[in-house]
Structure 1
Amino acid sequence: MTTPAILLVVAGLACQEVGASIAVLLFPQVGPLGMVMLRLIFSAIVLLLIARPRVRGHSRADWTGVVLFGLVLALMNGLFYLALERLPLGVTVTIEVLGPLVLSIVAARRASAWLWAVLALVGVVALGGGGWDRLDPLGVLFALGAAGSWAFYILASARVGRAFPKLDGLALAMTVGAVIALPFGIADAGAALLRPEIVALGAAVALLSSTIPYAFELIALRRLPAAVFAILMSLAPATAALAGFIFLGQHMTWLEIAGIGLVIAASIGAVRSSSRAASEAAEPLA
């Protein structure tokens, strides 16, 4: 049955945005980079305990891939949280989704797929109220950087996934990312890292934002077609906007809500175009 799997994906999205909301609430204590450090450290610990990766038998190219993947992880999370410090959660996630959206449009290699890019652009313009006057410019730049990093994350993840079995590559890359984030996080958070309640909340953010959603997605992918899963993941901006409203009191205008809807529609359309292109390429020639 697909209904439980769909509910797992939705629950995973909800966990991610609740985790992001808690992170925003912790910014006054630890700062965005301190939060990134806590999230990556606890995520790395959990993954290392689960995967227990083998470090022998891999080439120099494999390890280069892991280091680059870890760098992308640290950069993506850092830019995302820096954007969250300046922008509403729903707006940040909507802009970030543009990274994988553009990647899927390029992968489709169909002229019609670029119609979805135009639709997404209209949605992003709507997010700014038509003139971006309501959005922090630096926050928008951070969010766009996170979008680009997410696209590189997908490419780096595929490369490392081919070289390392199961979760080994992700666990090692997350460890590299945590090490990279460590000095920036300590500088940003300072003495707040000595408070047990702050560390505990950082662990909760890691579980909600990374561990639990990943487990739910892994289970769901065994029961759902990849295209259906990708379409469900396109709903992330909507769940982010809802979480921002409930937990952070972030109200959005109808124009911004319409912008989120357009980006979601573009994401779904791009996924369908990409899936159609892949199926056509797989068809044998007569």
Structure 2
Amino acid sequence: MTSDGFLTDSGVELERAFGLVASDTRIEILRALWDVRVSDGEGASFSELRERVGVSDGGRFNYHLGKLVPEFVRKREERYSLTHTGAKLIGDAVSGAYTETDGPSVRQAAVGDCHISDCDGSTTVEYRDGELRFGCDTCDRRPDAVPVPPIVVESNDADDVPVVGSRFSMLTVERTNRGFCHLCDGPIEQTVARFHPDFEPDLDGSVDVIHECRACGEWRRSGARGTLIGHPATVSLLYDAGIDYRAVPHWEQTWLNEATERVVDEDPVRVAVTAPIGGTEHRFTLDGSLDVVDWE
């Protein structure tokens, strides 16, 4: 890992990676191989690929193609195809992550009651600047902002965006809980905020958790209850109670919104999260890495 936090031993260095695709011809090569991938998946020969891209100078084409091998393009038995990295680059472009300079937006709308017990306001959702933002129109509860690619918004009716966006945000949380960074796929380390040397203690009475990527340095802060999303114990209890949590937007996830959390021990660290599921209060005990070590 370099001093700025970017991996060099298992991936392409950032500056070099950008340089490899800094050419219209190379982008066209990647796009052509994407078309091949989705049509027959067999790859393309040098001559087939050059014809698709439309470059008459064979030497010039070979130079640019060679720059993409092996990071973005794979060569096997004289045929070329995209590597996972190359396919991911094009997939991100299709999602609008790179190409939406003036992306879509969805005006703020009320979607349900605020989950804060002493608030009569409504949970609000809006989409702008590539983020789905959840808040309240009355109280000053901590707002949530989740990165959602433009394609998720553009491929759905505006009225459906809050629910679809919520499903996407829950997927992002589950990905983090399984230990993968949503940006670089690197390893996530979870720490209770009050025991982390670089962060302030918990906010608004919750037990805050810092989810920090050891590769790229990306981090986010959430309540300890969020680490239970997707855990087999909560999934099983919810299903037994007749709830498919995947189909419920997070502002209607009563078990999550009404859960309480507190640190019950500091050596070793233990966090108790109590959540109402199926009419019963269930207690989950988490360790310092926010793994569930017991539940009842």
TM-score for both structures, normalised by structure 2:
0.21
Asked which structure has the greater RCO (Cα within 8 Å, sep 6+), the reply is: 1
- Structure (1/2) with the larger strand percentage: 2
Higher CA-based Rg: 2
- Structure (1/2) with the larger helix percentage: 1
TM-score for both structures, normalised by structure 1:
0.22
